[in-house]
Amino acid sequence: MELNAEFDVETDGTHLNLVLESAGGRTAGNERPRNDQYVPALTLLLIRLRARHAVLLSATVVSKRVAGLPEKDRALVNGPLDLGAVDDIDRLRLDLTSAQGRVGLPAGATKEGNNRKRIQLLLAVPGYGPGDATRLAADLAAPDTPSSLAVNPFTRDGLLSAVRKLSLHRHEGRPSLHKPLALLWAIGRVADGRCRLVSWPEFRGEVGALLAEFGHEHSKTTPQYPFWHLRTSPQVWEVHGLADVPTAGDVTAVAGLTHQAAELLRDDTTRADVVGLLLEEHLRGITDHQTLLARVGLGGTHIALPGARTLLRALVGEQIRTASEESHTVLAVHGDAALVRTDGSPSGQSLRISEVQKGLDLLAVRGSVHLHVDELGHRCSLIGAVLATLPGARFTEDPTAVTLHAPTSTRVAEDPHFGGLDTVAQVKVRTEQAQLRRLLAGDRDAAECALCGHHFPMSFLVAAHIKKRAVCSNSEREDLHQVAMLACSLGCDALYESGWITVNADGHVETAPPDMAPAGRFRDQLLHLNGRRCTAHRQESEPYFAWHRETVFRRTSD
């Protein structure tokens, strides 16, 4: 197919840019109008880019007449857009052309202008780097063949192997949690149907908050490192628009799961296996897996499950039954194991807490867990008996499994195994937030954000932990009046969680250096908060704020 339209692929040294020339009237010596097949050419280019799993980072008008306009006024669609996931290319082409009609028009103009302008598509194309502009242009100009689109197959086993072999930075003998946490977050995006690639500013904000909440105590919040260094697993992760670790100015850089990895992870079973592997191999140091999974959108059930130790302690002295109706008794919990009396071991046999935790993790991700030696080990029958005590859990057959259904509130309240447990261990919808807010605000309908000082309805206030809950000791978690504060969900909570702001020893809000923040409303908000008095700061809460200053706060530029 030969079309009367001119395009080229250029590079700025970091990105690939496809430029499609404008359509127009006849020129001297030409029988046909200039680039009169603009629309079918754009459609065909989009189809061929989709076949290569390209990602459209941005699309802008780049004609000379509007060259002086800000990029946001020349933008045609919001990116990044994974073309491999676009079903209706004609709809996308229409969006790109129809949006051109308003570009460059004065305010109040009623008649739209030309919608066949010179445009630039900023692209990330797997297999093509900044130095491959000529090759990509040639490949897009030629008809696609099976051999031109062939890629090495990436299988479920290959994905599991790559995740198991993640290369992790070690600090003081401990492997960093940054890569596995970032990868878990990216899997949550895919499970939610969002684009597999994400911009650096969005990644920095969301993953930065995740690292602050679940990373090692005293570890720095540095989302730039997983964003860049996960590329050492090239079948799993790709980065575009960077030559090194990103800084605050790299606003057009994107990274994320490869197309093949994302496709594999859209399968529920594969995704559950990969998530389980991440938890078991790389995130064992995080004790509250259920909260972590819920945080990244992977908490496959509607209720929060207790930790294995809490669950087993609640069952001490109680009879538990296996799928084959054998009756056992939990005698005690000591160290890293529980002692369970069976017919064959009247004095009790050991059941490791970590084995039960693995079952709970799989149950949280999948909603069911197979009682088979390949999945839970040789104590699968005993583990199943423990899991089956959860409200809403029951044994199912073909194959034998424990399946979790959301329990009624009546069943939870009447279940003798959970009457004495705290909120998390009651296996109810997590109510700690509501209870903390009531504790901090009483019966008021509105209250003050401790950081910005503005009053908000209670639904817009978060009971934020001054020291992240995951690293608090039991006594610190119980120190609710001092370890928590009310922060608004319109920005203060996220800024504190991700380390953009903290509270100094004098009780005033301190912000990260201004040059770390992008210019605009974000930086303006930081300047607005800087120096404000934090109403939650007092002598008793200062140790928790000190932890935040030393561990989470961004003191220097990246």
Per residue in 271-324, pLDDT (tens digit) is 888 888 898 889 888 877 878 888 888 865 434 567 788 888 888 888 899 999
Q: Say what the alpha-carbon torsion angle 343, 346, 350, 356 is, to the nearest 10 degrees.
A: 50
Residue 268: band (very low, low, confident or very high) from pLDDT cuts 50, 70, 90: confident
Provide the pLDDT for residue 127: 84
330 within 8 A of 339, measured Cβ to Cβ: yes
Handedness of CA 165, 171, 173, 178 (dihedral sign): negative
Q: What are the Cα distances from residue 399, in Å, to 238, 355, 372, 395? A: 38, 20, 9, 10
97 within 8 A of 39, measured Cβ to Cβ: yes
Query: How far is residue 16's CA from residue 136's CA, in Å, rounded to a whole number?
Result: 9
Residue 407: band (very low, low, confident or very high) from pLDDT cuts 50, 70, 90: very low
Residue 79: band (very low, low, confident or very high) from pLDDT cuts 50, 70, 90: confident
Provide the pLDDT for residue 201: 92
Enter the tokens of residue 414: 């009447």
Give CB contacts under 8 A, 24+ apart, made by 132-135. Answer: 132/16, 133/9, 133/10, 133/11, 133/16, 134/9
Q: To which residue do tokens 């370890």 refer?
A: 483
Residue 28 dihedral angles phi and psi, to the nearest 5°: -55, 130
Query: How far is residue 226's CA from residue 553's CA, in Å, rounded to a whole number?
Result: 18
Q: Of the candidates 234, 235, 213, 232, which has an alpha carbon nearest to the alpha carbon of residue 223?
A: 213
208 within 8 A of 221, measured Cβ to Cβ: yes
Enter the tokens of residue 153: 């197959």
Q: What are the Cα distances from residue 294, in Å, to 107, 198, 277, 288, 300? A: 46, 20, 17, 10, 8
44 within 8 A of 110, measured Cβ to Cβ: no
User: For residue range 84-120, what is the model confidence (pLDDT) as tens digits?
Assistant: 888 899 999 999 999 998 888 887 776 677 889 999 9
User: For residue range 138-196, what is the model confidence (pLDDT) as tens digits?
Assistant: 999 988 665 555 556 788 889 999 999 998 888 777 889 999 999 999 999 988 888 89
296: how many CB neighbours lie within 10 A of its CB? 23
Provide the pLDDT for residue 424: 35
pLDDT-wise least confident of 335-349, 387-401, 467-481:
467-481
Tell me the whole-structure pTM to 2 decimals. Answer: 0.53
Query: How far is residue 500's CA from residue 418's CA, in Å, rounded to a whole number?
Result: 40
pLDDT-wise least confident of 213-217, 245-249, 350-354, 483-487:
213-217
Beta bridge partners of 457: 446
Look over the chain and give the mean of its residue pLDDT values, rounded to a whole number: 84
3-state secondary structure of 369: strand
Query: How far is residue 77's CA from residue 189's CA, in Å, rounded to a whole number?
Result: 21
Kindly give the interhelix angle for 353-366 and 380-387, rounded to the nearest 10 degrees: 60
Mean pLDDT calculated for residue range 6-23: 92
CA 257 to chain centroid: 11
77 within 8 A of 56, measured Cβ to Cβ: yes
Q: To which residue do tokens 């669950």 refer?
A: 311
DSSP string, 489-503: TTTHHHHHHTTSEEE
The pLDDT of residue 413 is above 50 = no
Query: How far is residue 423's CA from residue 405's CA, in Å, rounded to a whole number?
Result: 19
313: how many CB neighbours lie within 10 A of its CB? 18
Considering the chain, what percentage of its residues have pLDDT values greater than 70? Answer: 89
Considering the chain, what percentage of its residues have pLDDT values greater than 90? Answer: 37
Residue 514 dihedral angles phi and psi, to the nearest 5°: -55, -30
CA angle 186, 191, 197 (to 5 degrees): 40
Provide the pLDDT for residue 42: 95
Name the strand (E) or helix (H) holding 412. Answer: helix 409-414
DSSP string, 127-170: T--GGGHHHHHHHHHSPP-TTTT------HHHHHHHHHT----E
3-state secondary structure of 76: strand
79 within 8 A of 200, measured Cβ to Cβ: no
Enter the tokens of residue 73: 């006024």
The pLDDT of residue 204 is above 90 = yes
Provide the pLDDT for residue 489: 85
Q: Of the candidates 480, 547, 545, which has an alpha carbon nearest to the alpha carbon of residue 509?
A: 545
Provide the pLDDT for residue 428: 32
Provide the pLDDT for residue 490: 86
The pLDDT of residue 541 is above 90 = yes
Query: How far is residue 184's CA from residue 97's CA, in Å, rounded to a whole number?
Result: 37
